Structure formats: C-alpha cells, structure tokens
Amino acid sequence: MAAQRNTGTEQTLTPTAGHSPRSSTYLFTKPSQGNCRTTVDVAGVKVGSKGLAIIAGPCSVESAGQIMRIAREVKAAGANLLRGGAFKPRTSPYNFQGLGEEGLKYLREAAEETGLGVVTEVLDPRHVELVARYADCLQIGSRNMQNYPLLREVGKSGRPVLLKRGLAATYDEFLLAAEYIMAEGNTNVILCERGIRGLTNELRFTLDLSAVPYLKERTHLPIIVDPSHGTGNARLVPAMSRAAVACGADGLIIEAHYSPADSVSDANQTISTDQLVTLIKELAQIAKAVGRKIQLPQIANSD
Ligand code: PEP
Ligand code: MN
C-alpha cells in the first residue's frame, strides 16, 4: 500500500500501533510503543541520550599532524567525537579525493591518542570492511543517501551509521534509506539533517531545522544537525548550531580546523578550533535550557 499523505487533519504523525500503513512501510524506523527514544553508542558516546554528541574535526584528513592537532584541539573545546574525511565525495573528479586508507590510519592514531571515537565517510560498498576497521561510526554522505547497495553493506557491517539526508530528499525518502540499513539487522542509525537545495542561492544549502522536531515524531532514531554543510558559511555556523540545540537536536557535526583558510576542502564553512571553544560553551547553556547536557572539559588547574 502506498504511504499515506499527511493531510493535516489526521493524526498520522503520532506514534501508531496496529494497522497504520506506516507500520509496514516504516517497520524499523517508526516510533516505538510508548515513544521511547533510541540511543546509539559510538565509542561510549550515547547519541540520543540527554548528553549531546558534539562531533568536530576537519572536512578532510590532510596529514597525520593536521588530524592529530585538530583532534587534541576539538577535544579540549569539548567535542566528544572526531570527524574527518579520508574518502571524499567531491563534486569535481579533479579535486582532492582524500588520503584513503592512509587517512584512516591517521584518524585512528588521533583517536587512540585523544580517546575520541571516529566518524568518517564510506563512499563505496567495496570499502565498508576497510573503513569499519578504523572507524567507530560509518558516515553515509548526502550524495549516497539512496545508494542502496552501500546502505545494505553498512547495514551488514553492524557498525553505527551516521546517515546524512540527501540534498534533495524528502523526509519519507530519508526514513526509507534508514530502513535499508536497519532491515539488514543494524539498528544503530543516527540521522543527520545537513541542508537541502532551496531557493537561497546566496548559501550553499538551506538548513531545514524543521526536520528535527518533525522526524522526532516519525522515528525513535536520534537526529543530529550539520550546520557546516547546511549553510556553507562559517559565519553562520554558530547561530545555526545554537538553533539546532534549541530545537531538540541530539548533537551536531561541525567542521573545524586550527587554520580554516588552509583547509584543503570546504574552507569557507570551516570554523576555527578557537571559535569552537566559545561555541561549545554557548551551546552548553542552551542545552541546559532545553533539558539537555553538554559536558564541558575540566579546566586544568594552573598551579
Ligand atoms: C562531509 O560531511 O564531509 C560531507 C561531504 O557531507 P555531505 O555528504 O553532507 O555533503
Ligand atoms: Mn566538508
């Protein structure tokens, strides 16, 4: 049966039991009876719990030294997971494509040194096993949200998956992509709103924050926000991060670098690790106001 449209007059958005068409179409993503939220454990960080996940790091892993320094700095700022692309989905085939396995090794070293878990993208079904050897969470990028063989493969891997919304995907398509992963037996799926193509030519994408409260009605899965790709503009990242926490996001994934202008990819949307320090302090206050928590790092005693 075709998925039912929400006409605005019927309560199709409330958790449903029994014979709603959604029960069979959205078998694994639909809200649970009692509306319990799922938490996904990524290297000890429980994404979807009261404590927010703050995933930060560069767009791309550039060198061993770069990712090690950024890992230390984002950790000191209060991030609890490290991001960084080793396999990069670039619009042009002539742009830097990432360091591949070498980049994964550097990420792992930075993870071991700092104790941060690693979130990194897998682009190709043939690389899932390789990336899963190094990563704590497999990222499915926006351009691959409907790459069904890839979704099935990360589903089989059992590793937590960060599933980014396709840049022109509807909410239904987004949830059905999560179903592909979960139908393979992997329930560790985190959704990520990262902006969609809109009418705003001035910005790279339009960050759809309505996705957060809306999808919380449609699914028990955690949902985080990417304000970096969502805006394409570093100056807007703090405001949209604050808004994301205020509207109930379970976490953020933020591009940060000690020298944003020198980033080999996505320099325009990358904030400095110094800015991240200030931002996470602000986010901690907003989190508290909406009943959530961000654990700020202990300031070392100066004597
Ligand atoms: C990324 O997070 O590195 C990335 C490429 O994001 P997206 O797939 O959302 O464009
Ligand atoms: Mn990027």
Closest CA to 56 of 262, 269, 236, 246: 269
Tell me, using a 6 A CB cutoff, whether residue 227 lines ligand 1: no
Per-residue confidence band for 7, with pLDDT thresholds at 50, 70 and 90: very low
> How far apart are the C-alpha atoms of 249 and 243, rounded to whole Å?
9
Q: What is the mean pLDDT of residues 81-99?
A: 96
Instruction: Say if residue 207's pLDDT is above 50.
Output: yes
Judge whether residue 101 has pLDDT over 60: yes
Q: Look at ligand 1, atom 10, and give the residue with the nearest C-alpha.
A: 142
DSSP-assigned letter for residue 202: T
Which pTM does this prediction carry? 0.92
Q: What is the pLDDT of residue 16?
A: 44
Average pLDDT, the chain: 93
**Which of 1-5, 41-45, 277-281 is the least confident region?**
1-5
Whole-number pLDDT of residue 35: 87
**Contact criterion met (CB below 8 Å) for 258 and 225:** no
- 20-29, 65-74, 222-231, 249-258: least confident range: 20-29
In the block, residue with structure tokens 């329930």: 187
Question: Both tokens of residue 273?
Answer: 């690790």
| Test site for ligand 1: of 92, 162, 164, most ligand atoms within 8 A of the Cβ | 164
Residue 5 above 90 pLDDT?
no
What residue ranges in the chain does DSSP mark as E strands? 40-42, 45-47, 53-57, 81-83, 117-121, 137-140, 161-164, 189-193, 223-225, 251-257, 271-272
* Torsion sign, CA atoms 168, 170, 174, 176: negative
The confidence score (pLDDT) of residue 97 equals: 97
**pLDDT of amino acid 10:** 34
Centre of ligand 2 from the C-alpha of residue 2, in Å = 36
Q: Is the pLDDT of residue 20 over 90?
A: no
pLDDT at 33: 87
Quote the pLDDT of residue 257: 98
Q: Which of 83, 87, 123, 129 is nearest to 107 (CA)?
A: 83
Whether 194 is in the pocket of ligand 1, judged by its Cβ within 6 Å, is yes
State pLDDT tens for residues 149-180: 999 999 999 999 999 999 999 999 999 999 99
d(C-alpha 21, C-alpha 27), whole Å: 10
Q: Is 15 a pocket residue for ligand 1 (Cβ < 6 Å)?
A: no
Q: Which residue owns the Cα nearest ligand 1 atom 8? A: 141
Q: DSSP for 63-122? A: -HHHHHHHHHHHHHHT--EEE-BSS---SSTTS----THHHHHHHHHHHHHH--EEEEE-
Q: Report DSSP state, residue 42.
A: E
Whether the predicted pLDDT of 3 surpasses 70: no
Residue of 90, 119, 139 with the most ligand 1 atoms within 8 Å of its CB, for mutation: 139
State the Cα–Cα distance between residues 271 and 228, nearest whole angstrom.
Answer: 8
Range of lowest pLDDT (3-12, 25-34, 276-285):
3-12
Handedness of CA 267, 254, 249, 242 (dihedral sign): negative
Which of 9-13, 118-122, 164-168, 264-268 has the least mean pLDDT?
9-13
Please report which confidence band the pLDDT of residue 21 belongs to, taking 50, 70 and 90 as the band edges: low
Q: Is the CB of 141 under 6 A from ligand 1?
A: yes
